[in-house]
Each structure stands twice: as structure tokens, then as C-alpha cells.
Amino acid sequence: MSSPLRREEVAHVAKLARLSLTDAELDLFTEQLGQVLEHANDMNSLNLEGVVATAHPFGLTNVVRPDEVRTSLDRDEVLAMAPDAQDGRFSVPRIMGEAP
Amino acid sequence: MTLPNGWEIVVGLEVHTELKTASKMFCGCANSFGAEPNTNICPVCLGLPGALPVLNERAVELAMAIGMALNSTIAPSTFHRKNYFYPDMPKDFQISQYDLPINVGGYLDLPDASRVSIERAHLEEDTGKSTHLGGTGRLQGADRSLVDYNRSGVPLVEIVSGPDIRSSAQARAYAQELRGILIATGASDGRMEEGSMRIDANVSIRKAEAPFGTRCEIKNLNSLRSLQRAIDYEALRQVELLEGGGTVRQETRHWDELRGETSTMRVKEDADDYRYFREPDLVDLAPDQSWQDRIRAGLLPMPAERRQKLAALLSDLSVAHLDAVEVVINLGLDDLVMRAVDGGVDVTLAISRAANELAANIDEVKNFSSESFTATLLMEQQGELSATQAKTVLTELLTHGGDPHDVVTKMGFEQLSASSLGATVAALIEEHPEEWTRYRDGDEKLAQFFIGQVMKLTKGQANGKSVVAELQARR
Amino acid sequence: MKTAVQIASEVQGGATSAHEQLSLSLDAVRARNEELHVFLHVDEAGARVAAARVDDLIARGENAGPLAGVPIAIKDNVCQRGVPTTCGSKILQGWRPPYSATVIDRLLAAGAVPVGKTNLDEFAMGSSTENSAFGPTRNPLSPSRVPGGSSGGSAAAVAADMTPLAIGSDTGGSIRQPAALCGLVGVKPTYGLVSRYGLIAFSSSLDQIGPFAKTVTDAATLLEVLAGHDLMDSTSLPEPSPSLVAHLNDGVAGKRIGVVSELIEGADDEIVREIHRALQVFRDAGATVVELSIPELRLGLSAYYLIAPAEASSNLARYDGVRYGLRVDADDVTAMNEATRTAGFGDEVKRRIMLGTYALSAGYYDAYYGQALKVRTQMIDAFARAYREVDFLVGATTPTVAFAIGEKASNPMAMYLSDVFTIPTNLAGEAAITVPFGTGEADLPIGVQLLGPGRSEALLFSAARVLELADGRP
């Protein structure tokens, strides 16, 4: 059965998700994801016109907190778990492009 | 600047302002500028596994205040996730508002009576800040970056104008007026140089009435002057490009203030798929009428209203006066001026001194009392101080503080006594018989000559009106 | 092994100490952990401190809480300050959270003694605990079989008598399914009843933390401790913790019960048999049983396998090698992100991230994720219509008893189908409990599922109690 997904789409999605897939994985995922999406076509059996997505199941709204300062984390404790840190900051290899 | 060959500039502005809240948007970390790196962070704003956002009430209120000041509709709204990877984003998604923002529509009327529409204003969280090592300090050429998350999670409101702006001057006026509003609502301190207010300009060109052309987004505008220069540069660049047979590519461009030009930063491509979806960790916002009413009731007068109030007191609405009013309003000095007027000071005098001496020392104004301002100007008005002396006293009070009367004494600015003034004038009349004859015969302009001479002799201690009185008495 | 309620009573009364109960628990852990691979980390030092605190309170004549001295196992996707928390993944191997989840604070305040972190399917994605990066957990009742998932370790801890209580998380059945396969009581509370602050997110709109126990009373006692409004979780229900234990013996006389065909179809015969037996128990106890069909439930699997991966793809983006966890170095940050995530995530996690990213991507949102959200609304409405007719529903928890390790591992779709009866409750945000009731093939336990509207835990517990008593368990 051919997948509703094209291999190039899966490759593009992998890039968006910051995952590198081998060719074998690309093929496998294309097939497996395709199966899930094929199965999902059963949703089209319902008439969903005009149906609105539900936000919170019990309709909670306007949950806010007062504008008060609370204690922050200890920087040393936080940086101790960083893969690489310098001068109190998290260090990363060079960034290739500007932020969107 | 008008473009050649019938081209028209089309500009829309996106302004981001940090909100002046005590704590961050979704957590209780302090919202403060200049702290040691990574000292205002917690599981939420660091995006640690398991952390959840809880919305800051004051941020919502300030967003509503901004919307009200911009004549927007306060609408039920939802938060969305904008998904993309970047090291200054701790969750690799930003919580923002997408198709259901808190403020919908609106407009901003500028001092020149033009109106710029507002499309929307919404809430979102700020990102961390990176510094780049191993190059010029800019992103290009760096080999490593260091990230500070103090700014991550700071509340922002983004205000998007319609593409109604038709000149760089109008863009500047819009930014100026918007800043005044943001400051007046208490939402922002409007400091572009500190980054608490950031402006991006979307610039395109077209021939009149034609459909809009492709636009470029210009970033790195750190002052109103940069904003104006960059728009003019970019518009011309696009004209040259199109007239040379090229096409404008939709992209983000970086403004270089030193070189005075824009350059490509990022080409907008399909890779920018943000996969927006409703933020499941937050619930919807639907501020009820009573909450909105409380905010509206607490709003202070906006620049437009204060400008009108001040201008209404002026009998002479010359350009010079209106310019001075602008300076006063933009610098928030109108309160001092109004109090001086209430205290008996002539409004033109108060505006002039505020727009000049106070404006020149704007950072000290916060420590300057309206009593000092009023007292000094009353002395000038009543002839006890000359204009020059009054300006000196104001500057001294601003930079070193003190009491106006003490400063006057300390500087030896006591009024020249009537008799010594009379003697000085008499001596001058003898020294300059020709000028005196012409004045005596009706040439009023020569009064200025004698006033100038008196000033020179008395080192500015005389009062111009008193000198004229002396001259007239001796005619 | 004693129940949690018994232990708490004896510790509070002085007949035993928290220290002693902890020692017994640790002995039980050591006896079988190597064989069964239940705990990824045993926090003996931390547990001793918690036990000492309880014993200290008791010595001063104070109330040490409803779970005084009771050892408890914590699923390893719940943050506990200073204790390694891996989510069953290499990408968080060695990470110690600098903060604790709200539920941990509540457990400690109630006198419970967290003993360690239990194994799970990586990032809670799975139904067998075979997706853990650190090896599967074995079902204590039959070690060649799975304990279920994703909270397999927590279920095994209780089933193996290592601790009388455990907490897990349930997104599509991850508490109820392993509870059923291990012969335990397991609850997915109403969405928002238990704080998610500190629960490492899989699918934010579906996740809930809940209890594992051998008895209904123990489960109710634990849930009372966990539940109630939390300021740190915007989605948490505004009410304080509900009263559950006090209603355990309310019975079901006069109640209307719906047996839902879509929650039984596809289950093995032996399971269907037990469901019918349970219904008879309910009738004998004075309830009326009504047959119902809720066709919308059939779409649950499709909606779930779009909504959950979509949210997960976003929730798991933060694992990028920048701030904590695994980093695989590279020349630029994007390459580093890719190398880190590729090395750090297992196949099932990658599969779901890919599926979720696709479902949200430009051009496909409406057809997949958008559609699934609408199906979810229909399901909520369908349940609401059913609950106008009946007070609660009955169905199977799982289609089969515990299956063999390796049996479904290579077929994701087959694995996904094991959640068909549990998923609808998560989509609706409502409550459900599984109660052990009878046995099937090879004497393996069967679970009967009771489902109710939001905030109906007290009713569900009292109905579960009826079944428990009928099955000869005190």
C-alpha cells in the first residue's frame, strides 16, 4: 500500500523537527506514518462542519496570577547542569542565522 | 523625502514594547534590566522539563490599557505556540497570540491630523539574549554564542499598524506618538536604546493607487532617527532596483547605522513554518466588562489630550510654538508647565523654558520640583531676573538642585537697583549721541541697541523692560 | 503486604516506624529489581530523610499525615529535586531537576516516603514500557510478559510488593492499562484535578498524574493527597481536593450504569466475560444496567494519534542540547540540535515527533490536527449525552491480558490499538478507574474500567469498591 506521505515531505518534517534520519529510517517512517494517517481518514466519516475545537474541557478562563516577584533559581545550580557554560551564560556553537 | 518618478512609500510598523511589570509574563522572576546574567531565572522561564506558565495579571491589564489608548476592541483571546528552534528560546517555542489577539483594530491620530490604523496588539513573551564570540560581536563570523535568559519570559506587547504610513516623517511621528502613549499608560518606559521599545519597519513602494509591492522588513532600528533614515534608504533602494528591471525579494534586512544602509539578514522561506497551535497549558482570556471598566477608569490622559489642553492655552499658534508644545508633550513636561501656569506663569514662557532648558537636562527633571520651576519663572516674569539669568538659574537647579532664591543670591543675580540702572543708561546716552538722537526721534529699533549695551556693561543683570522704561522716561 | 492505609495507621500509632517500613520496602526492591527492572533509580538517602522527618513528627506527638511512613514509587517523568529524572530517555540521562513537582511536595507533606523513580516508555510514549531507553520492565506476575505502559515501572513496583503505592501518568491509558495488566487499581483523574506542575509533558491537554494501588481505599487515599487546585498550573481545577474516602461505601443502589458496546468490541472473550460478571454484581447491588452505543468513540484512536503527537512534538522541542541533558557537539548550533536529538531520542519518540510536526505543518493542519480537535469536541458531546442517561459507564480497560515482551514491539499500529478503550476518557478530560476483576489466560489479571463525567471520582470509587468486595477482596 502506498503511503499518503511522500518521502520528501518526511525529510522536510525531519528537518523542521531537528532530526537526522538515515535513508532506511526515512523509508520506514514514511510507511509507518502513512499507516497512521491512512487510519486517521476515518475521521472524515463524521460531519464536522461548524464543530469548534474545545479549549479547556471544563471551560476555565481568565486564570491569572498577581504581579509579584518570587525567588529565582540559584545560577550555579542551573549552570552546573549545562552541557557548556562560560561567564555565567550557556555556551552554544555558532548560530548560523538570525532569529525569525 | 519624496520619491522620484511618482513612486510612493508604503510603510507598516511593528512595535514591540517590554511591559513595566514587577515580574515576568508567566512566572515570578523579576522583570529588571541589567541584572547579572542568568540570575532571574526559574523552571518556567528557563523552559525546564515539567514547568508550566501562569499569566501575569498586570501584563493583561497593561495590554488592555494600550488597546484602550489605541481605540481597539478588547476581545476574548487565546494564546498560541509559535514553534521554531533558536538557542535564545528556552522552550523552542514562543507563547504568543495568533489569530485571536487581545486587542483588535484601532487607530492612532498623529499631531498632523493624519490617522494610522492599528491592526492588532497582542501579548507575547520575550526571548533570552545572546552575545557572540570570536568575530566582530555580530552574528556573522562568530564561532560561539553565550546565552543569558534573564530577558526570557519578560512580557511584551506587539503593536501592528496598518500599511497606512506614506513617509518616513510620518513613520517617525507615529513612533513618537505611540511611545508617548505607551509611557502614559504606564506600560513602558519607551527606551529604544535600551531595547524596551523595538521597532521593525515593513517597507515597500508602489505607484499611486497600484496594489502594494513586495515588502522588506527592516530591523535594528535603535532610534527614531534610524527609523527615518532607514525607511528613506530602503525606499530608494527599492526604486533603483525596480527601475533597473529587478524585483524586490521578500526578506528581512538589517539597518547599519554607521554605513547608512540596509543589507540582507534573512530570506523569508517556507522553512518558516511556525506550526501555530493553541497553547494547551493556558486557558482563554475573556476580560469581563467590570475588569475593563476598572482599567479604563484608571487611564491617565494621553498625549493627544494633553497636547490639545496645552495648545488651547496659547493664543499664538505659530509653528515655533507648536514645535515647542511637541517637545514638551513628548518629554512628558506638560505637567510642570501646567502647574507653572496655575501658579501664574505665562504659558508661552513656561513652554519655552520647558522645551529648552528642561529638555536639555531631561534626565535631571525627575528630581526637579514644580515649585522650583514656577518660582524661577515668576521671578523672570516679574522682572527680577533677565531671560539669560532665568535660564542659568534653571540649569543650575537641575544639575545641582537647591532653592531658586538661594541660587539667585549665590549667583549674584539680584536686580540692578533703579538708580544704578538710571546712571548706566544716562552714561550710555552720552556715549552714543547719534543712536540716542535716532531713538529719541522715533526709531524704536534702537532700544535693542541700548539694551544690548546695558547688558554688556552689567553682565546681563539688567531687565530689558526696565531699560526700555528708562529710555522712554528720558526721551 | 500491608495496605498503605494500614501502614499509615500503624506508623502514626507507633506500632512501627517509617524507618522500618522503608527498610522493608528497600528489601523488596533489592530482591527483585534486577530481575524485573522496575526502578531506574532508588533514592535511599532521600527516602531516609523523609522517613526520619515522619518519625520525628510522630515522636513529638504530631499528625504525620494520611500517608505517614508509606513508601511510594514515582514514575520517572515526575521531577523530584536532586533526584535523577530521565523520562526513560538518553536525552535526559543524568539530569537532576532543581525543583520538585507539586505532587511530590504534597506527598511529602502527607508523610509519604518516595523510594525511587520507576521505569517508563520513553517520554511516556508507549503501552508496554518496551520503549524505555534503559530496557523493559517485566510483569511481576509473569516476567516474560509486559507490565503495560507507559507507567509499567510504577505498576510493577506495586504488583511486586515493593511499595504499596505508586504514581504514574495517564495520557491515553498509561496508568489504567498497566494497572489492568498487573492486577491493580489505577485511576486517570478528571483533567485538572491533579497538578501537572513538574510532570514532564507529553501531551499537555491529555496528561494527568494518578494513583496505583492494590486496593480501592488506598487509591482513594492517595488521590485525595494528590488532588486540588495548584497556582502553578493554569489548567488545574479551582476546587480543593475532593472527599473520596468518605464515600467509598456509598454503594450503587439506584444508579444507572451504561455498558458501552464500543468499549467492549475487540476485547478478548475472557475479558468480555468478566465485564458481564461485573455488570451482574452491579445489578445485584441495586443498579440498573443499560446498553449504550457511542459510535464517536471509534474515532478516538485517530484523534488521539494526531493530538498527542502534535503537542508532544512541541513539548519535546526543548531537548536541544543547549541548557541541560545530552549534548552531541557539532560545528553549529543547528547541527548540534540535530545530532543531540537524533542520538538522544528512541524510535517511537522520533516517530511521534515526526507525526506531530507533520500534523501541525502548513497545509496539513486543517486536515489532521484541526480535524482531530473537532472529533474531540464530538466525543465530549457524545459522552455528555450518555451521562444524561446514565451515571457512569462500564467497559474493558484493555483488549487482552498482559502480552509477551516483544510481541507487539515491532508494529506501532498494533501497539497503538491497545489503548482503544482508554483513549476516549483522556480526550474528553473525564475520569476513569480500572479495578482488578477476575483472571484470564495463565491466571493473568483482568481489569474492568468504570468511566464517569468530570469530577465524578467519588462515584467511581464507590462503584469500584462494590466490585472489589464482590471479588472477595476486603
Query: Confidence class of residue B417 from pLDDT cuts 50, 70 and 90?
Result: low
Written as one letter, the residue type at B234 is E
Strands of the sheet with A89-93, listed across from one edge: A85-86, A89-93, B144-148, B129-133
Question: Is the dihedral angle over the CA atoms C32, C38, C41, C42 positive or is it negative?
Answer: negative
Rounded-to-integer distance, Cα B221 and Cα B16, Å: 12
Judge: A90–B149 Cβ closer than 8 Å, yes or no. yes
Find the mean pLDDT for residues A5-31: 94
Least confident of A70-74, B227-231, B264-268, C404-408: B264-268
Catalytic residue among C17, C169, C174, C418: C174
3-state helix vs strand vs coil in chain B, percent to 5 = 40, 20, 40
**What is the rounded (10 degree) CA torsion for A57, C172, C419, C106?**
-120
The string of DSSP letters for B287-340 reads --HHHHHHHHHTPPPPHHHHHHHHHHT-S---HHHHHHHHHHHHTT-HHHHHHH
Judge: A94–C331 Cβ closer than 8 Å, yes or no. yes
A8 Cβ under 8 Å from any chain C Cβ = no
Q: Label residues C50-60 b or e (16+ Cβ within 10 Å = b).
A: bbeebbebbee
What are the chain C neighbours of B85 within 8 Å (beta carbons)? 317, 320, 334, 337
> C75 catalytic, yes or no?
yes
Contacts of the segment A32-35: beta carbons below 8 A, 24+ positions apart: A32/C351, A32/C412, A32/C413, A33/A3, A33/A5, A33/C351, A33/C354, A33/C355, A33/C358, A34/A1, A34/A2, A34/A3, A34/A4, A34/A5, A35/A3, A35/C412, A35/C413
Query: From the candidates A12, A38, A44, A54, which should be mutated to test the interface with C, based on the most C CB atoms within 10 A?
Result: A54
The string of DSSP letters for C246-296 reads GGTT---TT-EEEEEGGGTTTS-HHHHHHHHHHHHHHHHTT-EEEEE--GG
> Is the confidence at residue B270, as pLDDT, over 60?
no
A 10 A CB-CB count for B472 gives 10
What are the chain A neighbours of B124 within 8 Å (beta carbons)? none
Q: In the prediction, which pLDDT does B320 show?
A: 78
Query: From the candidates B74, B136, B283, which should be mutated to test the interface with A, based on the most A CB atoms within 10 A?
Result: B283
List helix spans (H) across B313-445. Answer: 319-330, 334-342, 347-353, 359-360, 370-381, 387-400, 404-410, 418-431, 433-440
User: In this complex, which chains have at least 3 CB pairs below 8 Å with chain A?
Assistant: B, C
Catalytic residue among C25, C75, C142, C456: C75
**Burial group, residue C366, by CB count within 10 angstroms (0-12, 13-18, 19+):** exposed
Residues of chain C with pLDDT under 50: none
Cell of C262: 464500543
Find the mean pLDDT for residues B51-67: 98
ipTM metric = 0.96
What are the chain A neighbours of C296 within 8 Å (beta carbons)? 46
Judge: C337–B49 Cβ closer than 8 Å, yes or no. no
Query: Confidence class of residue A1 from pLDDT cuts 50, 70 and 90?
Result: very low
Nearest residue on chain A to C412, alpha-carbon basis? A32
Q: In the prediction, which pLDDT does C135 show?
A: 97
Find the mean pLDDT for residues B129-153: 89
CB within 8 A of B323, min separation 6: which ones?
B355
Contact C445, C180 (CB under 8 A): yes
Smallest CA–CA distance, residue C31 to chain B, in Å, is: 32
Q: In the prediction, which pLDDT does A98 show?
A: 80
Phi and psi at residue C245, in whole multiples of 5°? -60, -40
Smallest CA–CA distance, residue A2 to chain C, in Å, is: 16
What are the chain A neighbours of B40 within 8 Å (beta carbons)? 72
Find the mean pLDDT for residues B436-464: 84
> C150 catalytic, yes or no?
yes
Residue of C180, C126, C186 whose CA lies nearest to C150: C126
Rounded-to-integer distance, Cα A27 and Cα B220, Å: 44
Read off the pTM.
Answer: 0.91
Cell of B136: 566582530
Q: Which of C324, C333, C341 sits opposite A19 (nearest CB)?
A: C341
> Is the confidence at residue A100, as pLDDT, over 90?
no
Judge: C354–A78 Cβ closer than 8 Å, yes or no. no
With cell 557554560, the residue in question is: A85
A19 Cβ under 8 Å from any chain C Cβ = yes
CA distances in angstroms from B300 to B62, B335, B411, listed in the order given? 12, 12, 39
Smallest CA–CA distance, residue C300 to chain A, in Å, is: 9
pLDDT of C356-414, one tens digit each? 999 999 889 999 999 999 999 999 999 999 999 999 999 999 999 999 999 988 888 88
Residue count of chain B, please give it.
475
C109 Cβ under 8 Å from any chain B Cβ = no
What are the chain A neighbours of B16 within 8 Å (beta carbons)? none
Nearest residue on chain B to A71, alpha-carbon basis? B29
Rounded-to-integer distance, Cα B247 and Cα B230, Å: 19
Residue of C426, C463, C443 whose CA lies nearest to C181: C443
CB within 8 A of B241, min separation 6: which ones?
B247, B248
Helix (H, G, I), strand (E, B) or coil at B381: helix
What are the chain B neighbours of C87 within 8 Å (beta carbons)? 49
A19 Cβ under 8 Å from any chain B Cβ = no
Judge: B90–C323 Cβ closer than 8 Å, yes or no. yes
Judge: B144–A91 Cβ closer than 8 Å, yes or no. yes
Catalytic residue among C17, C127, C142, C150: C150
> C350 catalytic, yes or no?
no
User: In this complex, which chains have at least 3 CB pairs below 8 Å with chain C?
Assistant: A, B
Q: Which of B28, B43, B87 sits opposite A92 (nearest CB)?
A: B87
| Average pLDDT in chain B | 91
Q: Which of C334, C375, C430 sits opposite A43 (nearest CB)?
A: C375
Q: Which of A14, A54, A83 sits opposite C327 (nearest CB)?
A: A83
> Is the confidence at residue B69, as pLDDT, over 50?
yes
Q: In the prediction, which pLDDT does B415 show?
A: 64
**Burial group, residue C48, by CB count within 10 angstroms (0-12, 13-18, 19+):** middle
Smallest CA–CA distance, residue B364 to chain C, in Å, is: 42
